[in-house]
Amino acid sequence: METRLLYQPFDKIEADAVAAVLFEDEPAPAELKFASAWLDDLKTSGEFSAKTNELAVLHQPQQIAAKRLAVVGGGKRDKFDLRNAAGTLVRALKEKGVKRLAWWLPASGKGAADAEAVAEGAILGNFEPDQHKTANQAKSLDAFDAVSATDGAELDQAFERGIVLAESQNFTRSLVNEPANVLTPMVLADRARAMAEECGLECEILDQDRMRQLGMGSLLGVAQGSVEPPALIMVKYKPSGAPKSADHLGLVGKGVTFDTGGVSIKPAEGMEKMKYDMAGGAAVLGAIRAISKLKPQIPVTAFVPAVENAVGGKAQRPGDIVKSLNGKTVEVLNTDAEGRLILIDALEYARRQGCTHLVDAATLTGAIVVALGHVNIGAFTNNEEMLGRVMAAARAEGEKMWHMPLDDDYKDLLKSAFADLANIGGRWGGAISAAWFLREFVDETPWVHLDIAGTAWLDEAKPYMAKGPSGVCVRTFAKLATGW
């Protein structure tokens, strides 16, 4: 989709449809004075009252160049989400045959923030997870224009930033949507390498032999049941000038390309969705793609431990004891708690690579979905200042997170009579004990764990986003790095 920021008067915009936002209990903007009689009729009939995501279309208006005028409900101004409104409009109008859509950015808006958000919303809304369909594909826009009456370099930069973030998020969504017979761990490594080459980033792939030499027994234990070899993917961004500080941000993402649960096998119902168990890994790859174009002044490295958790004659068994990269031993009580086993070796390796601050993203537990549903990411930390940075970045990018506890009392849940710790902590507080397990392997390094099991996949389409992978965390990670 062609995406442009244009500067011209409202009535000169040439498009299949031009859209403007109306808010509850506020008069229509001056640009829509020509349509006041139509708007009054809509309000009187109750067809349109400017509630969130309401839409009305006026065909063939005589006073403007566009073929249609679309008015979008913004609800109450203080709760308006421009990103979602733009996505909603794109998804609604592309189904009606609109190919070129324009969005009016009024002078009364938030300027650069609006330009960034509307670009993100439009690109995200236009995405469809249909790359494997051969017919009857969803309709798509050919072009989206954001239009302002006043120009400025700040607006241009913000709009381009929005394009970068949304395209990187869609890159992540495309990876997550790939079935496991297409996207094996080594294919994921190939995709990462190709992206790194395209973006001018360094990429290094540790194969099974190298991981064995290093002593990544926890990661390799998960991988041993599959015929698909594992990979530890590293993609590195280095600032062109002198780094802003000695800090080095490490982004670690769980990369289980398919999760059967292993010997502790999952129920058949819903198992097909387990291709999304690499959504954390895809998110850090999408983020480093965006970071390469936004160019923050700190080094950032993405780490993706990529494995397939399968059932086979060599599969890891409940009761097995593995030795992790940092030397601690783990009793594997449940082979379906595999994500934490691959993450601990990746977190330790990230520390050895000089990362001073760590954030991991993982579809880690069903327990976080019980706690927070499909709305908030669960956020855990050993460092409140680091968590504050992540939460601020998430708020700026409209990604919801909720601070979850990591009290010392929960640590006892992981006791093992036969190893340094067990890989599960029992039924209660499962998301917390999983986070505590990871915490055991980061020492004092400032670290945030994001459990995205409830937010990385949409079981039903939203008005502003297609069913399937959401690409959550890409924008937050990019904002975190650029705002460091």
The residues annotated with a catalytic role in the active site are 266, 340
Counting Cβ atoms within 10 Å, is residue 425 exposed (0-12), middle (13-18) or buried (19+)?
Answer: buried
- Tell me the C-alpha distance between 329 and 188, whole Å: 29
Q: What is the DSSP string of 348-409?
A: HHHHHTT-SEEEEEE---SHHHHHHTTT-EEEEES-HHHHHHHHHHHHHTT--EEEPP--GG
401 close to 377: Cβ distance less than 8 angstroms: yes
Strand runs labelled E in 174-294 = 202-206, 231-237, 249-253, 255-259
Return the closest-CA partner of residue 161 out of 400, 475, 384.
475
Q: C-alpha dihedral over 226, 191, 341, 356, to 10 degrees?
A: 160
Q: Which tokens sit at 67?
A: 């073929």
Q: List b or e across 281-302, with b for residues whose CB sees 16 or more CB atoms inside 10 angstroms.
A: bbbbbbbbbbbbbbebebbbbb
- Tell me the C-alpha distance between 171 and 160, whole Å: 16
Return the closest-CA partner of residue 452 out of 391, 362, 343.
362
Relative to beta strand 468-469, strand 421-422 is unpaired
Cα-to-chain-centroid distance, residue 436:
23
Q: Show contacts of 38-42: CB within 8 Å, 24+ apart.
A: 39/71, 42/71
